[in-house]
Structure formats: C-alpha cells, structure tokens
Structure 1
Amino acid sequence: MISKETIEKVFDLARVEEVIGDFVQLKRAGSNLKGLSPFVNEKSPSFMVSPVKQIWKDFSSGKGGNAVTFLMEHEHYTYPEAIRYLATKYNIEIEETVETDEDKEKANEKESMYLVSEFARDYFHKTLLKTDEGQAIGLSYFKERGFTTATIEKFQLGYSPDSWDALTKEALGKGYQLEFLEKTGLTIVKAEEEKSFDRFKGRVMFPIQSMSGRVLGFGGRILTNDKKAAKYLNSPESEIYHKSKVLYGIYHAKQAIAKLDNCYLVEGYTDVIQFNQSGIENVVASSGTALTADQIRLVSRLTSNMTVLFDGDAAGLRASLRGIDLILEAGMNVKVCTFPDGEDPDSFAKSHSFEELKAYLQDNAKDFIQFKASLLIKEANNDPIKKAEMIRDMVNSISKIADRIKREIYIQECSRIMDISEEVLYNTLAQIGKKELAEASKKFTEEKKAFEVLKNNDELVPSKIDIQYELEQKIIEILLLYGNQVVDFEESFMLENDKGELEEIKEINTRKVSEKIYLALQVDEVELTNPIFKNIYDDLIQYHNQNELFEIDKYLSQVQAEIAEKITDILMLEERDALHKWETKQIVVKPKEENIAQYVNETLLTLRWFLVHKIIEDTKKSVSSNSAEDNSELLTNIKDYLGLTKLIAKNLGRVLARF
C-alpha cells in the first residue's frame, strides 16, 4: 500500500488547476478558472475550478472534488492509481507501507508481470517498425487493413518474429525472469525437455490494456495459412489477465464513452481500431468471447447506454442475443445495429467516411425489442407454436429489466409489435418467476390509470424549501470557509437589572468562528438533524480544535468519498454566481467575507428563530388537542416564545415572516 507520507506529499504538491489543465481548457474568471464540462456536451462553461480552495465543480453533471477525484471521474482511475499518476507528474517517490512477506511477494509478483508485459509490448512494436521481417510481414498486413502510422502508434500494434525464442532470449538478456515470462504466458516452458519458446511466434500483436492503461495480455493473429494453428491466440489466464473481465479498447474509449454517454460493442480488435481511425472512439470489443457480467460492469461505470454491433451475416446471431439479456439485467439500455450482408464493423468503417458511418449508426440502431422481434419473426414463419415461443423469449428479455417504468413501456411495445394483449404479456412475466412481478397482472389496471393521471397532469407542484436543511448547510459552509478565522462578534444576553426586569446586554467578544458556532449551538442545545451535516459538523469542530491551520485540500484528502463530494458541493455553491456574469447585468453579488461576523450571527439567529417557531407551532397543537384541560402554562410558554422571536427579529434588524 502507498504510505500516508506519500499521499500527504501528493496533496501538498498537486495543484488542481494544473492537473485539470492537462485535460480541460481553462480560462480565468475572477479568482477562479472556468471551462466547458469534460463530462457532458455543452456550449456555455459550467465547469469551475477554485485554485484557492483547491477544488472543482461541474455544475452540469453535479460532479466535484479535488485533483484526485477529478482523475477518478475523468480518467476512471482507482484511488491508488490516481495517487500514483500524481506522484509521477510531480516527481514524488512512492513509499510503500510495511506489508507482510506474503503481501509483498504477491504485489511484487503482479508488478513483475506488468513490467514484463510492458517490455513485450515495446519489443513487439519495435520489431514491427524497425526490422526487415516486421516491416515486410507485420507492417504490410496492418497497412493492407488500412491502418495509418498514427493508429499503429496509438494502439501500440506489434509483430512477434517467426522464431522459436526471439522474445524470450531478448527478455532474459535484459534481466527479466523466465518465471514471469511463463506466468504471463509470453513464454511456454517445457521443463522436462528444458526448453522454452515464444507463444506468439510469427503473429501480429494487439496489446490488451486495462482501463488505466497497463498491459494485461496480448492477442496475436497468425498470417500464414497453417490450418493447425488458431487464427487468433490470446494470452492465457494469469494473475493480471482475466479475459472475462477485460474489454479490448477500453483504455482508449473510456473518455469518449463517458462524454457521449454511449458505448459501441463489437467483436474483434480490428473493428475497434478501424472505428477509432474513422473518428468513432467510444467502442470496445469482447475479443471473440461471450459477453460477461464483469465486462458489462466495466462499461456501466462510464455509461448506462450500450449499442451492440453485429456483422451482416454473423453466424450464431441468435446465441449472441444472450449477451443482450445480460446487459438488460445490469440495468443498462440496449440498442442493436447490424451491417449490410458481407460487411462487418471493420470493413464498413474502412469504406465509409466519418459522417457516413455516424449517420448509419444513428439511423440503423434499433431498440433491442424491435431487433429481437424482427429476428425471431423470420424464424417463426407464421408457425403459431414458434410464435408463442418467440413471444416468451421476448418477455424473458423484458423480465431482466429492473426498472418498472421501462418494463411497462417494453410490454406495450411488445404488445404492439406482436399483436397480443398486455394482460397476457404480464401473465407471462409472472410465470417466468420474477418476484416483483408476481402480481403484475392484478395491478396492471390500477397502475395504468395512475400512470395516465400523472401523464395528463400538467401542473407541477413546487417543492417546499427545507429551511432547516438550508441553514444547516450554511453552518457547514461557514465552518469550511471561515472556521479558523478570529473575528469580533457582538453578542447579547439577558440580565436582570435592579428593578428585577430582564435587560438585554451587548458586548464584543473575539473568538474563532468555529468556537462561536460551537458555543451558540451548545447554549441552545441544538444538534444538526441532517445525518451527513451532523457527521461533517462533528468532524470539523474536532479538526478545528486540534489544528491551528485549516487547509481544505488536506482536509478533503482524509474524509470519506461521500463526505468529500458533499463538502465540494457546499464549497462551490457560491462559485456558481461567477458563471451567471451578474456584474454585466449591473447586479452586485456581495462577498460574504466582507463581514463574516454579521453572516455568522445572521445564520445562527435565523436558525434559532426557525427552531423557536417550530416549538410555538408544536405547543399550539398541544393546546388544540388538550382543549378540555387547563392550558394556561402552555399559553404562557407560547407568549414567552413569541417575545423571544421579537428579540431575535430586533437583533437581526428586520421583520421575520413565519416559516
């Protein structure tokens, strides 16, 4: 594991504006920087970076955080991967924490396998471009496929010499161990014969990368007509390569998938590469294996939409539809697109321009239910028995969908296409055995009526503002922005004078803002009601008490991801004003820091007023429910509380309306 000291160094040196500036074009906006969202398509900037606070916020997608969370969101790194990326960027030496011998051995073994795989990638690539054999055989093949030099570089395509042990000899000569060459499957070792030879001899090579870009394994295509040898050969399963959990091209596709909110799924390496070269980058391949739940989960981290692309004359198309059910089961939306007879994604992309390819995909991508129906109708061929089986097959796919609204829409669509009643389809769903749909047929009429009422109701009821939520959020904001600052507060309290009357006394006290808030809430015996805010509040008070300095970026680095995200949202609320350019409309947005004491006092007094008002209303309800009893004490309490609200209003300097 990466040591705490290394992580602290990373947060000390990493500048959020520098890190994000490598991926997003930023322009100055006052003390902040702004740019177009890297997560959604937009024309007006909604992405804000605060160099002072060392955080960012994307108001379009709702994402936000620090430099590490940006890399996790944008590059889809894990937390350790993001830390390692920043350590490399800022030339920080990574220290590992003390681990058991077993942990160290396992970590070292995996790292050694990664290193030997990356060596092999470089060796194959260099052989392709720099040797006579590589150029004559491998490079000629890729050029025939229409791949440009830039594309070959991007995907680091290579060639393995048609020699029994060329790679193995080279690797051993460079100091790599035979143990790891064997474990990665690059070298096959015959212990009894004391021989070793290259697995991929005489093949063009396709490196298979993880989402973070590390080489996991290889795919190799043979170029001879040797009928005994497999056309395509993949690395065997290993500690770092599990083909059921990997998608070819995911490293190059991840940003485009997230930004375009769609992923194209193809079958082979060259399909992915040709699409990329044509300008369609949001594409991955299952590399000839049946689609798995783990592969789908990789894509679901980036988008909830997948379009499956099939060859025009794909064999076993019916069997391939099982993958669609898996995608639906994962809660994703699925479309299907087939190419004309004799065409596959590779050949079609090669022979068409970007605009033609893009238009074809848009015009021919069918919803899965339409595609499945058109395919199965051909098979049924007016046979009633086959048609019944076909309908059950379609309903079986619909049953994989967890979202009830989507299920209802697909049932309606299936009913329309197959000319069969929705009630029958719901009964079929129940027969399939889905628990949540066991009573779907009985509830169908009521749900449909309720759906129609909602659909026809054009009036939207405005949501009521949660005053207490807003005030508690303000308290957290103050603690984050100004909690460490020392300010003069005008404080008032009631004191009995010589005549026995209560008199308001005011005095100036110098306190830290965090101390002022803590004391005020303690006096009023107030606890924050929102569990997240209470968690943040308790942690912030403790942090301020234990630390002289408060640096937001350091604080964010040590809290849970959920808390860090909420804190970022709160901190960036005021930055949204800069995006509206109020100054160009002669509207002045007064900075809170101009009078922190007033802002703190107003927030605390308003919260006090709100809570007193709640007590008054609750007391009134008690009086109403106890009408037969003596309520004189309750009425006296109400009178006293009303007097307190007048005093709060006086201190605030304004008349307060009831909440």
Structure 2
Amino acid sequence: MISKSTIDKVFESARLEEVIGDFVQLKKSGSNFKGLSPFTDERTPSFMVSPVKQIWKDFSSGKGGNVVAFLMEHEHFTYPEAIRYLAKKYNIEIEETEQNEEQKQQANDRESMYLVSDFAQKYFEDILWNSEKGKAIGLSYFKERGFTDDTIRKFGLGYSLDEWEAFTKEALDKGYSLDFLGRTGLSIIKENKQFDRFKGRVMFPIQSMSGRVLGFGGRILVNDKKAAKYLNSPESDIYHKSKVLYGIYHAKQSIAKEDNCYLVEGYTDVIQFHQRGIENVVASSGTALTPEQIRLINRLTKNITVLFDGDAAGLRASLRGIDLILEQGMNVKVCTFPEGEDPDSFAKKNAYEDLVLYLQENAKDFIQFKASLLVEEAQNDPIKKAETIRDIVQSISKIPDRIQREVYVQECSRIMDISEEVLFNTLAQLGKKNVAEANKKFKKERKAFEVVKKEQAVEKIDVQYQLERKIIEILLLYGNRTEEFEDLLLKENEEGELVLEPELHKARVFEKLYLDLQQDEIELSNENFRTVYYGLISKLNEDDSFVIESYINGLDSELSKEVTSILMEEEKYDLSDWEGKDIYVKDKAESVAQLVGETILNLRCFLIDKRVSDLRQRTLEKKDGNNHEILEEIMNYHQLKKLLSTKLNRVL
C-alpha cells in the first residue's frame, strides 16, 4: 500500500496540463487548455483542461476528474498504478505500508498481466547485458545494427535464450502465475508442459503511450525457413496490436513539439531515427495501418509523414494507409528513400543534418507522390491513366474538409493535365455513390431505427436537479467569498398586505446558503448533491483556506466525477471562442450575491409550485368535500409566489 504522505506529495507536485499534455495535444484557450477528445473520434475540440482547478472535462464522452482520474480512464490504471506513474514522472520516492496476503490477492487479472510483462522485459534485458550468451548473441546483433549502449537501454531491448524453458522456469521460480504467463503469450502452455514463445530471439518491448509494457516483438537470428523472422505477442487483455504504435512512448513529446509524426514500418527504423536525433517517429510494427493507430497520432498532431523503403514491394498496397489517414482529417506527406535503402539503413549512413535536409526536400504531398507513382505505371496507356486519375480522386473524396478537397482537385488537375470540371464531376459521382451506399445501409437498419425513434420521448428538464446543482456550483466556486446580500423579510404593510422588505447585510456565501436553506427547512433531494453539500459546508466552516483541488482529491470516484462536471460546465463555452467572435459574456464572479439570491428564490418558487400541486391533489382525494383550509393554504402560497416572482422580475 502506498502511504498517504506519498499520495499527498504526488497531488502537490503533479501538474494536470503537463500530464495530459503527454497524451493529448493541448492549445491555450483563455485561462484553460483545449484539445481533441482522447476517448472519442472527433475533429472539433471538446476536451477542456483547467490548470487553475486542476481538473479536466471531456464534453463528448462526459468523462472528467483530476489527474489520477485521467490516467485511470485513459491508461486503464488502477488508483495505485496512477500514483506510481506520477511519482516516477515527478521523481517522488514512494513510501509503502506492508500489504497483507488478502490485499495481494485482490490484484486484478489485468494488473497481473502488466506485472508479468514488466518482469519479462527486465528479465530479457538482464539476460542481454549480464549473461554470456546474451552478450555474445543478442548484444552483438544490436551492436552490428549500429545501436549504442544508451540506445539499447533507452528502448529496453533484450534477448531470450535459445532454450525451451529458460524464461518460463525463472518466472515460475519468482512466483508468477503460469496462467498469466500463458495469457500474455510469453509462455506456450500444452497439456503436460510449457515452453518459451520467444526462444532464441532478440526482444523489442512494445509500450503504451504511458510507458507500460503491453507485449513484445521478437526477431530470430538464425536462418530457419519454418520460423517467422519476426514474432509478436498474441492479442491479450492488455495488448491489441491494432491500437498500439511502436515507439509512441518515446516519441509523444517530440511529435507534439514538432507538430509532425514520421510513420515507419519496423522497430529498428524507429530506434535508428531516435539515435540519429529524430525522435518524432513511430512504427506500425509491420501490420496494416489501422484507424485506431491513426487516432493515437491525431491526439498529438494533425500531420503525418509516411516513410517508405526505396524498393518496398508492397508500396501500392501501402497506399491504402494514406486513404485511412485522409479519412481521419489529417494532413499526410510521403517520403521514399533511394533504391536499396530503408529508414534504418539511411539514418545509419547519414548525419542528423543530412537526414533532416533529405526529409524536408523529399517529403511530397500525398497527391504528388501518388500521381508520380501511378503515372509511372500507366506510362502512355490512356486507360491506365484514367484509372490513375480515378484512383487519386478516390483518395481526395476521403478528405472531410471541403476546402482541402477543392485545393487537391486543383493540384490533381495541374499534375495530371485534366480539367477541374471533370475531376469535380467525378468527385460528385463518388459522393453520390457513397451516399447511395449509406442510404442502402440505412434502409436495412430503418426498421430498428423506427422502433427506437418511437420509444424516444422529449427529455423533461428536472428543475429541482438543476437548481440543486447550481447551489453546489456556487459553494465550490464562491463558498468562501464575503458578499453583501439582500435578505427579503415578509411583513404586513399599513393596508394589511404582505410585502417583501429588503435588508442588506454582509456574510460569507456558504453561510448565506446554509441559513436560507435551513430557515426554509429545504433538504437537497439528490443524494450525491446532499453528500457534497454537507461535506462542503463542513469544510468551509472549518477551513478558511479552502482549496478545491485538495477537496476533489479526497472524494470517491463517483462524487469526484460529479463535482468535476459541475466545475467544468462553464468551461465548455470557451470551446466556441466567443471573444474571438467579438462576443463578450459577463463573468458570473462579478455578481455572486445576485446569483445566490436568484438561485434561492427560484428554488423557493419551485418548491411552492410543488407544494401547491400536492395540496390540489389532496382536494381531489378528500371525500367529504371540506377543502376550505387547503384552499386557503393554496391562496397563501399563491400570494407568496407572486411576491417572489415580482422580485425575480417575472410575470405570472
């Protein structure tokens, strides 16, 4: 168990915008930061980070919370894992209290798989550096590739001995479960025996964006036609190859800083580029590029440069990946290397400055690249040329932005020497075809859709919920402030009429709210709001230096999410950049007393309406028909409602 003092240090040191900035490209928006949601596929930012409050809110998915909540949502960390990650990031020494056997047993399966993978990485690395065979075979191979000691250590490279059970036996001796060795794919389990999956291979650990070991890639070093050259971990609860990019952990900060990501194919391409000084590079690890992998990059930058081998056999097939990138609304360039060279070999032979210059001069816009490649194939064949143009237009049709599409059509017209009108017509035909296919799909689902549509009802606004929510918001934001309030005293004038007389007095906001609600004997109906309300009143009463961040960090996950949602509600308007459109909204903080007064008055009016409705129901249920007292009470409530509504400038 991690000690409370360590947890407190972590929360004091961690800066939310720094931590989230490692995973999402954030841009300044007033006093906040905004970015694309890391939880949904979107093109317009709906993700807000408040450095002042140290909380975040994703308006597209509804998720929110503090720095730990982000890591738990995004990286699927447990609470202790998130604390450990932050402690490591901010160089905080972790103090631990002893765990009993029951607590150890409670570690979930997912966490156990991470622990096994982490052990495996350290084991393979230790074998590489400290065993005779590891140094003679594995380390020699990496040195031959031109990797330095620092580079090898940076990427945690290792070696798996060419023995059937070396790793599995060591893991079992250390107390790791055979079940999790099998589920991570590190060991292959048969009926009466088990053996190492990566026997006799150099090891490349595959890490998540936060640096957790998810799986491995292993390269065989002998010529064996029956064995695959590269072998990856199988799919598991923690490793999904379609959602992972090799090198993303080491590249994420550089990608965001350079606002560009180089996409290569292999592990060694990534490592060699890093060693040469270009760190904004990741690999699809030999698998076909997927939308999930592209969205991973999209969180950090809108720009991708795809690097192809000079003699890549499947170059045309690889072009499909470009269309996927375009579909995600990203900008894509392509760069090929001289014949016989790949990113690894080219980076190894050239100095940093020469490599950067080559990439700058040879990175072509995708349309130029595709045109030059396909035109070469078509040569003087008119039919093939027509197919080439249609192929390019097909790619342009994937681009969601209309202006970009038009610019690319103009570029295609110039390169291919064909009129823009023909290209636009072709683009329109493709659009109609896509619409027709979408309509066909829609018709199939229409029946189910109609059923759902009938079941949908207009959502009724819960007035009491909204008013109680507003009370919590006021307490959180302004609870400790001292304001001048106008109390309304109910008195009888000379004509015998009831009137509200104002009386000014100064008080702290939380005191005003508490006394008014207590005076009217109002109890918040929402259980979460009630818990937060009494907790806040108690905290504000005890502590003059109330700090929201500390308060949120002490809440359980459900209440923390609720409080974050309330605090960040106003921030979503920053996403629209009203000031950039010369629309200036008055700050609520300038009229806190008025806000408090109106909220209490509105709640009173609502509860009066509710009480009147209950009384009317009683008149209907009363069998003797003697409703005089009830009707008199209703009239009194109506009179009070009229006075309150006058104060709220409402007409009844």
How many Å separate the matches in 2 of 1:337 and 1:362?
9
- Contact 1:15-1:67 at 8 Å conserved across structures: no
Aligned residues: 522
- Contact 1:257-1:282 at 8 Å conserved across structures: yes
Instruction: Give the match for residue 346 of structure 1.
Output: 344
- Contact 1:480-1:552 at 8 Å conserved across structures: no
Distance 1:434 1:241, change over 3 A: farther
Instruction: Give the match for residue 378 of structure 1.
Output: 376
SS in 2 for 1:548: helix
Instruction: Give the match for residue 8 of structure 2.
Output: 13
How many Å separate the matches in 2 of 1:377 and 1:282?
31
Distance 1:17 1:490, change over 3 A: same
How many Å separate the matches in 1 of 2:313 and 2:593?
73
Instruction: Give the match for residue 244 of structure 2.
Output: 246
How many Å separate the matches in 2 of 1:541 and 1:108?
33
Structure 2 letter corresponding to 1:263: C
Instruction: Give the match for residue 75 of structure 2.
Output: 78
Distance 1:569 1:146, change over 3 A: farther
Gaps of 5+ in 1: 1-5, 25-34, 58-62, 99-103, 439-472, 522-536, 575-590, 609-643, 649-659
- Contact 1:484-1:549 at 8 Å conserved across structures: no
Q: Deviations over 1:68-124 (max 9, x none)?
A: 36758xxx943645662216746577999x9xxxxx99x844444333332222221
Match runs of 1:227-376 below 5 Å? 227-376=225-374
Instruction: Give the match for residue 145 of structure 2.
Output: 145
Deviation at 1:142, TM superposition (A): 1.0
Instruction: Give the match for residue 422 of structure 1.
Output: 420
- Contact 1:55-1:64 at 8 Å conserved across structures: yes
- Contact 1:479-1:540 at 8 Å conserved across structures: no
Deviation at 1:484, TM superposition (A): 5.2
- Contact 2:483-2:592 at 8 Å conserved across structures: no
Structure 2 letter corresponding to 1:202: G
Instruction: Give the match for residue 513 of structure 1.
Output: 509
Distance 1:115 1:46, change over 3 A: closer
Distance 1:545 1:122, change over 3 A: closer
Deviation at 1:18, TM superposition (A): 0.5
Instruction: Give the match for residue 121 of structure 2.
Output: 121
Distance 1:505 1:360, change over 3 A: same
How many Å separate the matches in 2 of 1:369 and 1:142?
37
- Contact 2:219-2:229 at 8 Å conserved across structures: yes
How many Å separate the matches in 1 of 2:565 and 2:131?
52
Structure 2 letter corresponding to 1:264: Y
- Contact 1:117-1:184 at 8 Å conserved across structures: yes
How many Å separate the matches in 2 of 1:572 and 1:331?
23
Match runs of 1:59-98 below 5 Å? 66-68=66-68, 77-78=74-75, 80-81=77-78, 84-86=81-83, 89=87, 91=95
Select which of 475, 478, 481 maps to 2:477.
481
Structure 1 position 549 matched with structure 2 position 538: yes
Deviation at 1:573, TM superposition (A): 12
Deviation at 1:565, TM superposition (A): 6.8
Distance 1:479 1:365, change over 3 A: farther
Instruction: Give the match for residue 159 of structure 2.
Output: 159
How many Å separate the matches in 2 of 1:50 and 1:429?
43
Distance 1:513 1:94, change over 3 A: farther
Deviation at 1:189, TM superposition (A): 4.2
How many Å separate the matches in 1 of 2:298 and 2:516?
47
Deviation at 1:130, TM superposition (A): 0.6
Q: Deviations over 1:249-291 (max 9, x none)?
A: 1222223333433222100000111112222222111111211
Match runs of 1:395-474 below 5 Å? 395-434=393-432
Deviation at 1:568, TM superposition (A): 5.0
- Contact 2:113-2:184 at 8 Å conserved across structures: yes
- Contact 2:32-2:50 at 8 Å conserved across structures: no
Distance 1:95 1:265, change over 3 A: farther
Distance 1:339 1:198, change over 3 A: same
Q: Deviations over 1:584-610 (max 9, x none)?
A: xxxxxxx99xxx9x95336679999xx
Distance 1:548 1:9, change over 3 A: farther
Distance 1:232 1:497, change over 3 A: closer
How many Å separate the matches in 2 of 1:244 and 1:607?
50
Match runs of 1:25-64 below 5 Å? none
- Contact 1:487-1:512 at 8 Å conserved across structures: yes
Structure 1 letter corresponding to 2:394: N
- Contact 2:24-2:299 at 8 Å conserved across structures: no
Larger relative contact order (CA 8 Å, sep ≥ 6): 2
- Contact 1:159-1:202 at 8 Å conserved across structures: yes
Distance 1:23 1:517, change over 3 A: closer
SS in 1 for 2:159: strand
- Contact 2:65-2:564 at 8 Å conserved across structures: yes
Distance 1:599 1:361, change over 3 A: same
SS in 2 for 1:153: helix
SS in 1 for 2:14: helix
Distance 1:398 1:561, change over 3 A: farther
- Contact 2:2-2:96 at 8 Å conserved across structures: no
- Contact 2:23-2:252 at 8 Å conserved across structures: no
Deviation at 1:330, TM superposition (A): 2.5
Structure 1 position 135 matched with structure 2 position 130: no
Distance 1:7 1:372, change over 3 A: farther
- Contact 1:15-1:51 at 8 Å conserved across structures: no
Instruction: Give the match for residue 446 of structure 1.
Output: none
Deviation at 1:211, TM superposition (A): 2.6
SS in 2 for 1:288: coil
Distance 1:7 1:184, change over 3 A: closer
SS in 1 for 2:538: coil
Distance 1:413 1:22, change over 3 A: closer
RMSD: 5.3
Structure 2 letter corresponding to 1:278: R
SS in 1 for 2:537: coil
Identity of aligned residues (%): 62
Distance 1:495 1:358, change over 3 A: farther
How many Å separate the matches in 2 of 1:204 and 1:12?
38
How many Å separate the matches in 2 of 1:36 and 1:137?
36
How many Å separate the matches in 2 of 1:36 and 1:162?
38
Distance 1:141 1:546, change over 3 A: closer
- Contact 1:10-1:87 at 8 Å conserved across structures: no
Q: Deviations over 1:306-341 (max 9, x none)?
A: 221111221121111011112222232222111222
Instruction: Give the match for residue 601 of structure 1.
Output: 593
How many Å separate the matches in 2 of 1:419 and 1:350?
40
Structure 2 letter corresponding to 1:20: R
- Contact 1:41-1:260 at 8 Å conserved across structures: no
Deviation at 1:387, TM superposition (A): 0.8
Range with bigger deviation, 540-549 or 397-406: 540-549
